[in-house]
Amino acid sequence: MQRLIPVLNNDHVSLHLISVINTLLTAAKEISHRLHQGSLAGTLGSTLDENIQGETQKKLDIVSNQLIKNMLLETNLVHAVASEEEDFVVMGNPDAKYLVAYDPLDGSSNIDINGSVGTIFSILEKPKHAAEGTELFLQTGDEQIAAGYILYGPSTMLVLTTGKGVRMFTLDHTVGEFLLTVDKVTVPQDTKEFAINMSNRRYWTAPMENYIADLLLGAEGVRKKNFNMRWNAAMVSDVHRVLSRGGIFAYPADCKNPEKPCKLRLMYEANPMSFLVEQAGGRASTGYERIMSLQPTDIHERVSVLMGSRNEVDMCLDYYKKFKCERPDAPNQ
């Protein structure tokens, strides 16, 4: 099996970008070790603090964020980092050209129940004409030069794109390296699986309510086939299933909290995952527009998300056209 660096060399990825990716993986190996130690590592449980998102932080959220941030900045290859756990952008080497946005531990509510979690990252280049700080990161998803995630499950896996398709690597603990296990990830165009938080059903708008209602009717309904629902409460593991065998993942805008109609962050979750899904032949949308075409206005911006098997996402989007309704989310909210 091939190791990561030779694979990226064959794709003519720059040595500096490879080094940045490799640094992320070094941090991921340490996070993986601590997760697999569980209670033995003394890092389970919550803190008394909330992050910028208003979410209670897990101890491993803080540890993972600090590990990734420190290791990236120590490379001198990173101009700035932006984390879901940080209020503001953290500046690095003023002469470096890479920007890294990341969610250090997606799905951290699963930590204490030994569920799957992951690290999601997005890599951009420093714009030629942008003020230092937040403005550096206000780029569309199309401007990403690499994106991926590390899934900490029964095995630790890297799923990566540099714009030349999607590959999966598995951490071999015997050699301490990520080895290529799937050379070309392709999302099936059709599916019989969907992933959505059904507890929010009463807050959905008409398009999503009607779409899911028709899926639940199965073979007796208008779709004429039975669907299975899967939900891991961690975007990284739900999207990993979509990339592995197809499906549709949805976290739509709703009216549960008018001040926060959307759950997922554009820069740390939606954009990198959309890059992966599109590179694997799938589709990613807010329900109204393509996710990677959005122009962000804030580093912690939230968006509605529909992504996965192309034909199923298209079917869902037909409901957004058919059932006209007032959007609970304004663009760039």
Q: Which residues make up each annotated binding site for Mg(2+)?
A: 84, 103, 105-106, 269
Q: 29-35 — which CB contacts under 8 Å span 24+ positions?
A: 29/156, 29/171, 29/176, 30/67, 31/60, 31/63, 31/64, 31/67, 31/104, 31/105, 31/119, 31/150, 31/152, 32/150, 32/152, 32/156, 32/171, 34/60, 34/63, 35/60, 35/111, 35/117, 35/152
In this structure, which amino acid lies at residue 196?
I
Q: Are 267 and 101 in contact (CB under 8 A)?
A: yes
The binding site for substrate comprises 106-109, 197, 263
- Residues 31 and 331: their CA atoms lie apart, in Å, by 35
Q: Are 84 and 102 in contact (CB under 8 A)?
A: yes
The secondary element (H helix, E strand) that includes residue 315 is: helix 310-322
The binding site comprises 84, 103, 105-109, 197, 263, 269
Phi first, then psi: what are they for 196, rounded to 5°? Answer: -160, 150
Place of tokens 């080895």: 179
Residue of 270, 268, 303, 308 whose CA lies nearest to 288: 303
